[in-house]
Structure 1
Amino acid sequence: MTAALKVGMISFAHGHAFSYFRALMNIPNVEVTGIADEVKSRVQELTEKHSIPYYEDYRQLLETDIDAVVICSENVHHAKLTIDSANAGKHVLCEKPLGVSVEEMEEMIRVCKDNGVQLMTAFPCRYITAVTEAKAAIERGEIGEILAIKGTNRGTMPGGWFIEPSLSGGGAVLDHTVHVMDLMNWFLGSRVKEVYAEAGTLFHDIAVDDAGLVHVKYENGVVAVLDTSWSRPKSFPTWGDVTMEIIGTRGVISVDSFAQKNEVYNDEKMKTQWSSWADGMDEGLVRGFLDAIRDNREVPITGEDGLRSTEVALAAYESIKKGQPVKLG
């Protein structure tokens, strides 16, 4: 029998860590053998319930015999945690955005390659059924050549460290550009060459942007626009949406990523709830990472993929500051 993969988790600052943890616990032949978080209260219930060793200092976790780590820290710590993990010989699944500057993301990719370890960016939306079906239809040529894409990623304002620039590196434009931009890049197989963006703080009294429109031109001639906002109220049934209209020469594909749901009306809650019956995108993401490690092949969503989507968000901020389009590459 193949030995179990040993996985450590570094930081539960990002809420996705909890869903990744559940996914890891559901996958056969995988063991979570350590959790590191400088805030013990965030993980104490998990470590005690599942008898998992706790480390206040992530470097102690990296000294153990784990094969890989899952990093869900505040955005500004992604680079250091990834680089230290790579230097310790551990494969890395890093939460998005991969980094907060192009230079640090390039360094993350280089150090992982130099140490012979895999670096995967956490883009679980690639594992949504509507997305994978759209990708397959595009590859079959069902809508001809793609001309344009219109996307949205409208969510609830997350609060906490997400609205502290020193920890997040940006607001809604950074937080919500990267998911859908990765999907657009994946569909098109082309690089963005120009970015123009507008942003503002329209919905909340916070120190970062909570609304934005990001316009891009691709090297292959496709144009795209993305609504990146924290415009959903707290009472909204789910955190947000991921939608796309993919316009081709012979047809249009509409993607509503979270449409696999039931509407539930409950007098106790006094508002509509959504009960999802969709496939688990987070488990798909984690399985993709672990399968690549086991099979000694490239991870399905690389560090370069993370860089290509995040550089658009960073260029959007430059465009907002200058009030004009910004060239990439």
Structure 2
Amino acid sequence: MKLYIFACLCSLILWGVSCDEESVGIPTGALYLGIEEDATLLTKAESAVTNESLRVDIIAAEGDTIKSYSDYIDEVKGKKIVLPVGTYTISVKSNQSEEAGWEKPFYSGSKEITIQSGEITSVQIVCKISNTKVAVEYAGNLANYFSRYETTVSNTSGSLLYTRDETRAGFFKAEKLTADLRLVNLDGNEFTMQRVFPDIKEQYFYKIKYSLDDGGGNEEAGADFDGIIVDEKADTIYYGIFIKEEDLFGKSAPKLTLDGFTENKIVYKKADNPVVPEHSLTIEAPNGIKQLKVKTTSFQFADIPSFDLCNLTDAARTRLQ
């Protein structure tokens, strides 16, 4: 909900001005702050703003904070704040931190005001939710194939773990989000998927829903983001991420087996013997291998201390031959 903070700036002609201020001879004005609600904010809050703990800072044109109030309701609402004539910025923020958290909308707003002697000035400050809301949903068919599934959503403001039964929404800074899905199938095999959402805006509600692929022809497990749906009325963005069964089931993690090596995993070959000893490293990788990095310590490989067997450079290929 949008928060409207009304600041009524009254002249110092009021009788409430202290005698000390009059004796100094500094022209002053009076500032009044009030809060109303507006339900047109994109992301709906779980509680009315009047229940929020808001901090109010009054900052001079030079950048110095001349007055601070930790609680709007107790210290500011309905009270007169006397200020010298001049230009100020009124800053309003939630007292809570901007770290990621469950049901933690962060409110902020500011505006420049000018207090003039002998005049009544009023100003309206729009204080809105400055972070973004994120929820994760899991389709019912996942339970037929997986014993456990959970998603960690994170960015620089922190991370939250969305378990299969988590129904709360989390609030994050409005910046790039990363969602890491962890799946454990009924055979006990574990799989992970990561998706990055770069275009995250404040005040929107993002819903990420995981489900098994319905045969729609996705080229890989996960989302290609072509099917993003934006509900303009509710200002909610839905991300449908599909998991293809054939990409997951029956495929376990890679297995490595050493044969013929000594206990310290070393094999020796005489320089004058062209026969390669019967030693082997067997790798079983049902999901395929994208990278197989080898590190060397032999002086014979000083020019290529490491190389990728799946993506050999010309220099590495020549040296190995």
Q: TM-score range by the shorter chain?
A: under 0.3
Of Structure 1 and Structure 2, the greater strand share is in 2
Alignment TM-score, normalising by the size of structure 1:
0.20
More helix, by proportion:
1
Q: Compute the TM-score of the two structures, normalised by the length of structure 2.
A: 0.20
Q: Which has the higher contact order (CA 8 A, sep 6+)?
A: 1
